[in-house]
Every structure is written in structure tokens, then in C-alpha cells.
Structure 1
Amino acid sequence: MEISENNLKTLIHKITLLKEEIQKVIVGQDLIIEEMLVALLAGGHCLLEGVPGLAKTLMVRTMSQALDLSFRRIQFTPDLMPTDIIGTEILEEDHVTGKRFFKFNKGPLFANIILADEINRTPPKTQSALLEAMQEFEVTYGGHTYPLDRPFFILATQNPIEQAGTYPLPEAQLDRFLLFIRIGYPTAAEETKILSSTTGTLKNKVQPIIGAEEIKQLQALTREVSISEDLVVYVTELIRATRPDTSPVAYVKEWVRWGAGPRAGQALILTAKARALIHGRYAVVMEDLHTMAFPVLRHRILMNFKADAEQVSADMVAEELLKTISRPKINI
């Protein structure tokens, strides 16, 4: 896309301002915020996992306030139905002619930013209602297809699946999330700051920093960030090494049930491009790939029973692969 150098610098500077605006409310979690912005620029969706009380919902809501976009929150519960998300047809009457007709009443999914709160507390039938929207950016109901507004960004939160009342997301839906972000406990210093800043009368107000057109420009720019052919080959080798049937690595054959598919390679390259742009670079470097490998792969590598018994996680497999797979000889 054609864009002047000054406008380009302004757009990239707005990403920095966006991070700063979010950090007015969210203490710490710099990497988490950056990964959420990476997903936004790459045009994908995020799944955030953490125990209750780690400000997952607050983080998403704060981000939505800093973006000048329409926002809807869907609280997922065991009795939530697909029509509660997508919408439904209602019978209306034309007061002039007296004729009755069905009109599609759009659900909360028709917004730019969707907070799918506690997505794994609703049954699979309702979870799967998001699949078409996440992949195709459209919804089909009653034989008609309704396009969703762009940008369209789903930020879903889930509690760890070990907790009571949770339904694990199907693998097909997990794969639709560009990134799977795990949120841990804050440090002692961060927790002290949280307690001080949230128990008084002062509240920081978040201002909108960037709008829909600018986000679409940034998403287009992300795809224009360059990546060398050597790094593309490296990504191919890395993704293929996660699959037990084609992996040259013994521990993958020992621990992994299913490896990552081609969508993982696409996600890794796109998110690496977005991270490079956030850091003011117009070419992907190895650091971008290594940083994004964990949130890209952790939900796309399925561990076997032996790995579960030995407490070997997908992150551990990814870490070993990053050490094992040969890097390109050129200095990138």
C-alpha cells in the first residue's frame, strides 16, 4: 500500500502510545500487552488463559477503550446458546401492507472487538458458533451470510481446564486462535503497586488512541514487512519438526501426539512481522520468530499421555526445538 514516510512514522508511534495508554490501568504484563497488540496487527484472535483474579477481563476492556472501535462483551455460561451470540430471526409486520416477514436481529458478535469471557465455561455446541466468524469474518444464519465489521478481533479468556465447570475447547477451534497467551501471577513489586493503585479513590481514564482505518492500515503494513527466504525455510523446518511422523527429533516422537499444521507456520511469520513493526523494524529477525514461537505453538502441539505423566508441556517442546533446529548461517 502507498503511504508517506511521515504517516508511516505516525502510525507506528501510535502503537507505542496505545501500549502506554493500556499501561495506565494494567500494572506490569508488558509482554502480554505486546502479544495482544501483535495479534491485532496480524489480523488474528487471542486466547488468554489464567486463574481468576489476574485482570484478564480488565486487560481486554482497557485495550478496547484505547481503541476507537465498537466493543461487546459476551459472558459465556453453561446455558448460553449459539443464537445468543450470532443473533436470531424475529417475526415482524409491515404496518403499511400488513405483511409479516422475518428480520435478522444481529447478536453481540457484530462488533469490532469481542470479549468472549470465560469461553470454556460453555458447551462445545456454543463454542463452535464462533468458528465461521473467526475464520471467514462472516456469519451464516437461515441461508443468508452476514459480513462482520472489520477490523474484527476476538479476545477470549479461559480458566485453566483443571478447574471445575470447564469444557476444553476443541482442537479445531483452538487452532483458529492466532495466539494462546498464558497470564501468570505478578511479581511482588507489581502486586504491591496493584494493591496501592486499585484500593483508593483515583482512577485512570483511558483515552481512545487509534481508530478502525488506522488499524486496517497497520494490518496491511504488517503483511508488507519483509522476511528473508532463509527464515521462511527455518520456520518450515521448525513447524515440521513438531510432527512425530516427520520430526528428526527423538523427544518429539516420544512426547507429542499431534504436531502443528501449516496454519502454525503462517501464524508464526505473520506475528513475527507484527512484532517487528511494533519495534520499529521493517524486516523480521530471529528474535521475532523465537519470541512468538511459544504463543503460536503452545495450543497447536498436542501432548501424549506419557508427556502428561512426566509433566512435559508444549512450551518445553517448543523450547527444545528452538535449541535444536539449525539456524540460517547468515546473521539475521
Structure 2
Amino acid sequence: MKIKELMGILDGIAPFKDSEKWDNTGLLVGDMEDDAKGILTTLDCSHETVEEAVEKGTNVIIAHHPLIFPKVSNVTETGVGGIIRQLIRNDINLIAMHTNLDHQPHGVSHMIAEVLGYDHTEILIKHEYFYKKLRINVPEEDVDQLKQDLSDAGVGNQGDYSECFFEYPVKGQFRPNDEANPHIGTQGELEHVDEYIVEAIFEAAHEQQVIDALIEAHPYEEPAYDVLTLKKPSDKGLGVKFDYEGSIESLVGLIRERTGHGIVNVVNANSGSINKVGIIGGSGMSYIDEAFSQGVDVLITGDVKYHEAYDAKLAGRNIIDVGHYMEVFMAEGLKHLVEAHVELDVHATGVSTNPFG
């Protein structure tokens, strides 16, 4: 399997287009034409991680946190540059799956919930999905060919289905002017024609290529069409939530028992029972309003600052700060996701990259 083929599989697991604009995901170090000989999954790529990959005979490391982020101005033996040079010396490809993995239904937050014993989760903060809808008039005899041409251009894909079109008959009229070269009708004469309206959705990013394909395929010199912008909740988003029965103290005990990690801090803002738990792996406090608007009684996240905690307590919001490193469980979770799609050896790292450890 070439690296480019592996990238296609990873894109199916967590599409790279789902990454935040500020993020740096994809193949960071390596060659798309290399043969993949084995995979190591990890939270961070460190010197010890590269050594581990060499020992295991793997030449692909998939890390959650991008090694090259933000801009690297030089690659020397110090800092990040030293790791990059080590990767190159050992001919190891480094791939980052960061916010694209965060935003999947079975992404990092779900992987943490699984460690706690909760396999059934829902997306906490659902993304709104913006898409386009094409509506076009076409003569009855040209409907099938137009649908085929539009489908080839990416129109009509909905989830796991393709060629999803709707059509209904209408009466159309037009008068070709003196400069027109009509497919139907005569210059200067009013023409009535039996037409169909064909409708289908497509990815908003593909609008220009869809319009180009439509104009190329349509029999009319001047096709009549509309492009509408629509939005709906996505099946993807940030964080997860799940049902829980107990107190915040019992939840803290469960986290310690299941993860083996200590708790950084707890904001115990009210004494009520916990019925709904939210998790945002990594740093989630900037999403606290959206998280609690989804009915959670406590948010498990990391990197909670003093004033954020203070404001949360004033607002009656329970927070459990488990630290950013709790995301480390994504290494095992991603291993299981990847090995279900490849015939390569896939290993989860045994190296700790916890800077506080």
C-alpha cells in the first residue's frame, strides 16, 4: 500500500476537509509514493516515538497533535527540527489527524468516553452543514442524460447514497431573439414546451464545477437554473455526551479508576445529581456555553484556566479538568479504527509524551 492509498483510507475515517482552517493536518513529513510498512498511532510525535517506530519496523506515524505547528522557520537539531530530521533519517512518514479526528462521531472525545465505559454517545455540539441545491429546467427527453452528467460532476450525493434526484413536470415558454441559436423553437416566435424541473444537492465547495458541468451538458443555449444555499445539522461535531447516574464525586472516582490518571481540578458548582455528562477532549472551555446549552450537568475537558473556572462556578456549571493529556487514549482508539481498513500491522504507542509526567 502506498502512502497516498493510506491517506485515502484515513480520509474516509476522518475527512481532512473537516479540519479547522487554522490546523495543520495530513502528511507532514514523507512521500506519497512510499510503501507503507506498518503504522504507529500516538498523541504526539517525540524522539522516543520515532525510536519506537524504528524498533517496531513501522515507517508511518499517525499523530493527533501536528508536529509542524505553527510555522517552523528552520529545521535544525534543536526542538521540533530535531524530530523532523530524525524522521527523515529513518525514512518515516508522519501524518497528523487533529481537528478532523476531533469532529467525528467516533473521534477523540468518544474514545475517552469508551475508556470510561460508555460506548453509546451522541455528538455534543453538532456542526451546521451548509450545502447547495440545484434546481434546473430541462426538456423531458433530456432529463436522464442531464442527471447522468450532473451525477458525474458530484451532484446528488447524500450520505451513503448517490444519484439522488427529484423531478416534476412543468410547462415552459420562451421567445428566441434574433441573435439566439435555439435548441427548440424559431427566432422571434413564442415557444411552449413540456419541461421537467430536476433538483439535487451538492457540496457548496463544488459550485463552480457543477455550474460548468451543467452548462456543458444542458441542451439549451441559455439554461434556466437556480442555486440555493441550505443548511441542516450534521452528524459530526465537537465533543460527545452520554447518560450517567450519580454524583460529581462518583464520576471523578470513575475517571481515576478507569484511566489511571489524576484529576487536575474540579469545579463543583452545585450539589445536584449528574444525569448527562459532556466530554470535549483537549481544551474545551471556549465551547462551554454551547456545551451546557445541550443539557449536560458536567463538562469533562482540559486546560481550564482560573478565571474560566471562577466564571463557571458563578454560573453553576460543573467542570472536571482532566488535563489535555487525557487525549492519549486516542492512540488505542485510532489503532482500532485504522486496522479495520488495512492489512498492515498497526500499533498504539507505549511511549508517554505527557510533559507533566
TM range (shorter): under 0.3
Structure with bigger helix share is: 1
